[in-house]
Chains A and B, each alone.
Chain A
């Protein structure tokens, strides 16, 4: 892999083929490879500096635009309540509702590991602006009882004011430290502001979490200090491909989540009829478990190191995210004995708490690849031929 990465112009197809079998867990490789295969970084190294510079500047402009500026405007107006006029305030209140939703989910991201509740190595004060402190999201959140639209109407003013005073004292001490989950919160808020069609949907936190986890722990400090901005672009790329899963109005379309789940069930029927039959007979619908599995790219079904390893393979899929369907089918076939002997209650429990029973992630990936290869061999469509050729080239190369 180092050889591929050392080229002036990186062969993306070759990189994907290698990445499918996993990136090394130490060093900077994975963080770099993910940027590349997610197209957040051009393959031509000569373009890196310019691209990164412009992406990072753009991101900090977004933060200033969506977080710092509204806060400053609000603060300058807040001395005179009568000046609370017009759309700026409306929007500020609406944003606070959005923010409190994101905050709830960012806060409860991966509670089983300490990373997200640890201080961020490069908080926003460092990389954006000294004045970021004024727009720190946590300050807004702690005051949201006072400023958000619904509570502003609340009758119980006394309690509200007491609340906010207490909150401010805590904030003074706390605002020096920014935790990793707060970085995730800011990332999701900026994404929601930029993507008004989707805004924030629960589950996006589970997609951005592992990406930020990988990029921010890059031992190469030149890269990790820009983890936040770069995560934003990687996440945006992933979302552009899986966005339809999150959009309610897309549910019934051919690219929506229902179609994806149905295709996976069809695949299961083909590769393991007995398991399919059990699920079908027991009326265990795909949306009872596949909805979460697929929307979150299985990130809630396994521990974070396994998720990351799985995502090496998912991201390097040349028909992203076709391989995800095979992974889901592989999981079902690997726990088939339990499923076949289980009743409805037992099976539902099993499918919703797979992390205890799943075999090693490598076994899952191998099984999924095996199923896919089987289909590739059977199928002789033009696309498949192309793929087989590439694989042939790859095996020649390794010989």
Chain B
């Protein structure tokens, strides 16, 4: 039970959730990993961690998802996770304009701390709260386009687009890695089955 046996072609992607505090990062993650929603999540201090395995293009992909605290204070702790991430989901709250205004700040953070080929995605969460919406979908789309990244509006509460967002991100990472993988098997994206002694901190990309 403890050692999950992995096929030779299983892959491990490290994903990171970032964004202002209270935008619903933890809720998005719980909806995706456990298919539950709870309005009463305690605030994330430092980082949290979940694993979910998905199947894409006939491959089993293990997603290791790191959920970060949003408040400025935690940035020195959380930015150290950027480096090893294959994908980053940047979340804002469509009912809180300030969380939208801060997108550029978060994108700068990604540029500074993440590896160059990291897949980025913008998420406008809480899209079930139409009556409290203060950021239109168009504005979200526009910012995403300007930065050349994909965009989804999601609702962790109503389970809208959550799985689609994660799967799309994972697929984009997969497609990006494929040519490398075909040319050179030893790039580190392939996992050796159940090799317990190797590790998987965010600093060590693609190992488990």
Contact = CB atoms under 8 A, between A and B. Distances in A.
B199 A288 contact: no
B200 A341 contact: no
Contacts of A248: 72-73, 75-76
A255 to B, nearest CB: 16
Contact of B46 (A105, A295, A344): A295
B49 A348 contact: yes
A145 B97 CA distance: 10
Given A108-B40, A282-B199, A349 B51 contact: yes
Q: Is the interface of B mostly helix, strand, loop or mixed?
A: loop
A110 B43 CA distance: 10
A154 interface: yes
Q: Which of A111, A251, A288, A291 has most chain B Cβ within 10 Å?
A: A288
A300 B204 CA distance: 28
A156 interface: yes
B104 to A, nearest CB: 14
B51 A163 contact: no
Interface string A304-343: 0000000000000000000000000000000000000111
Contacts of A343: 2-4, 194, 196, 208
B45 A295 contact: yes
> What's the interface size class on B, roughly?
35 or more
Interface stretch (A17-25, A49-57, A201-209, A379-387): A201-209
Nearest to B42: A108
A291 B132 contact: no
Given A108-B41, A295-B45, A159 B21 contact: no
Interface string B88-99: 000000000110
B190 to A, nearest CB: 17
A260 B15 CA distance: 28
Interface in B37-96: 38, 40-43, 45-49, 51, 64, 69, 71-77, 80
B208 A101 contact: no
Interface in A327-379: 341-346, 348-349, 352
Contact of A292 (B45, B72, B80, B208): B45
Given A104-B21, A150-B98, A345-B4, A285 B45 contact: no
A284 B201 contact: yes
B183 interface: no
Given A151-B97, A281-B197, A342-B2, A300 B42 contact: yes
A349 B76 contact: no
A205 B200 CA distance: 32
Contacts of B21: 101, 104, 202
A130 interface: no
Closest CB pairs A-B (n = 3):
A111-B40, A283-B201, A283-B199
Interface of A: 97, 101, 104-105, 108-111, 145, 150-151, 153-154, 156, 159-160, 163, 201-203, 205-206, 246-248, 251, 281-285, 287-288, 291-292, 295-296, 300, 341-346, 348-349, 352
Given A101-B22, A343-B3, 18 more contacts: A101-B21, A108-B40, A111-B42, A150-B101, A151-B97, A153-B97, A201-B73, A202-B73, A246-B73, A247-B73, A251-B76, A283-B203, A287-B80, A291-B77, A344-B208, A345-B64, A348-B49, A349-B51
